[in-house]
């Protein structure tokens, strides 16, 4: 016959995972927090492409020692956002038109496929959310509204990928958008893209609601090319930016 203590042990062992206390999320380390802030500044171009930075400068800014700054910069260098120069310190990697062109080629392939799959699966609620994201606008020169606009643009394209039902496609597109984010911030700062973005996004939503896979693929390719051409024009005409052709 089983005693009460043994029965209690059995109950504890059989308790479903959902009933167990969830482990608390590990708090971010000082290195991680500095990394997150620097990465956000680089992607939003608050730290401009081509700008030189030093461990001492950043340690003073964040009021920390050089060690967490050095570790955060090492992570950013591994991701291709900063590079080092002997006896000079670090530099935010300049904008490269050749890289941008390659990234847009990849994005066109991913998003055309995502739209084609999504138009077969997207529901009214998802399409309504896309419509709301399409209407987000920004004020040039106002950083908070620009951040909201770029985030809404990102959410719009990721929502289409998510509606495709492919987790791998979502992961690939997310990485592509990460690498393109600096270009989006710069493009929106250099010229007003509110109207063209809104009109393109609204048209994409209409096609997705109609459920036409060929039209969905075609409109995403056109939108990608229009964004690429606009960015090329803006960056080519800009002054004071570290932009190279290759």
pLDDT over threshold 60, residue 139: yes
Provide the mean pLDDT of the chain: 86
Question: What local confidence, expressed as pLDDT, does residue 240 receive?
Answer: 52
pLDDT over threshold 80, residue 110: yes
From CA 190, how far away is CA 186, in angstroms rounded? 6
Quickly list DSSP for 34-63: HHHHHHHHHHTTSS-TT-EE-HHHHHHHHT
Question: What local confidence, expressed as pLDDT, does residue 31 receive?
Answer: 92
Q: Does domain 96-244 have CATH number 1.20.120.530?
A: yes
| Total H helices, total E strands in the chain | 10, 5
The string of pLDDT tens digits covering residues 43-85 is 888 898 899 999 999 999 999 999 999 999 999 999 889 999 8
CA dihedral over 210, 216, 220, 223, signed as positive or negative: negative
Instruction: Indicate the fold that domain 30-93 takes in CATH.
Output: Arc Repressor Mutant, subunit A (1.10.10)
- Scanning 122-166, the segments in alpha helix (DSSP H) are 124-134, 143-163
E strands in 43-116: 52-53, 82-85, 89-92, 95-96
Band (pLDDT 50/70/90 cuts) for residue 236 is confident
**Domain boundary assignment for the chain:** 30-93, 96-244
pLDDT over threshold 70, residue 34: yes
Question: What local confidence, expressed as pLDDT, does residue 44 receive?
Answer: 86
Evaluate whether 245 touches 232 at the Cβ level (below 8 Å). Answer: no
Band (pLDDT 50/70/90 cuts) for residue 102 is very high
Helix (H) or strand (E) holding 183: helix 167-190
The string of pLDDT tens digits covering residues 176-220 is 998 899 889 988 988 899 999 999 999 999 999 999 999 999 999
Question: What local confidence, expressed as pLDDT, does residue 239 receive?
Answer: 54
17-31, 144-158, 223-237: lowest mean pLDDT where? Answer: 17-31
Question: What local confidence, expressed as pLDDT, does residue 19 receive?
Answer: 45
What pTM was estimated for this model as a whole? Answer: 0.78
Evaluate whether 34 touches 76 at the Cβ level (below 8 Å). Answer: no
């Amino acid at each position: 016959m089983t005693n009460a203590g043994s029965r209690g042990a059995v109950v504890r062992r059989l308790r479903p995972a959902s009933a167990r206390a969830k482990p608390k999320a590990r708090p971010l380390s000082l290195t991680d927090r500095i990394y997150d802030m620097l990465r956000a500044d680089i992607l939003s171009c608050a730290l401009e492409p081509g700008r030189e930075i030093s461990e001492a400068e950043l340690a003073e800014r964040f009021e920390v020692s050089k060690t967490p700054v050095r570790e955060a910069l090492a992570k950013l260098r591994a991701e291709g956002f900063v590079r080092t120069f002997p006896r000079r310190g670090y530099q935010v990697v300049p904008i490269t038109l050749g890289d941008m062109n390659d990234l847009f080629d990849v994005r066109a392939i991913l998003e055309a496929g995502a739209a084609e799959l999504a138009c077969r699966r997207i529901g009214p609620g998802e399409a309504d959310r896309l419509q709301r994201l399409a209407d987000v606008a920004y004020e040039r020169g106002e950083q908070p509204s620009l951040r909201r606009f770029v985030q809404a643009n990102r959410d719009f394209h990721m929502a289409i990928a998510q509606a495709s039902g492919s987790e791998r496609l979502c992961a690939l597109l997310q990485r592509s958008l990460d690498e393109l984010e600096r270009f989006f911030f710069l493009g929106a700062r250099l010229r007003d893209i509110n109207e063209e973005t809104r009109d393109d996004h609204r048209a994409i939503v209409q096609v997705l609601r109609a459920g036409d896979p060929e039209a969905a693929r075609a409109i995403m390719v056109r939108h990608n090319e229009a964004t690429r051409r606009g960015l090329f024009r803006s960056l080519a005409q800009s002054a004071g930016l570290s932009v190279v052709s290759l």
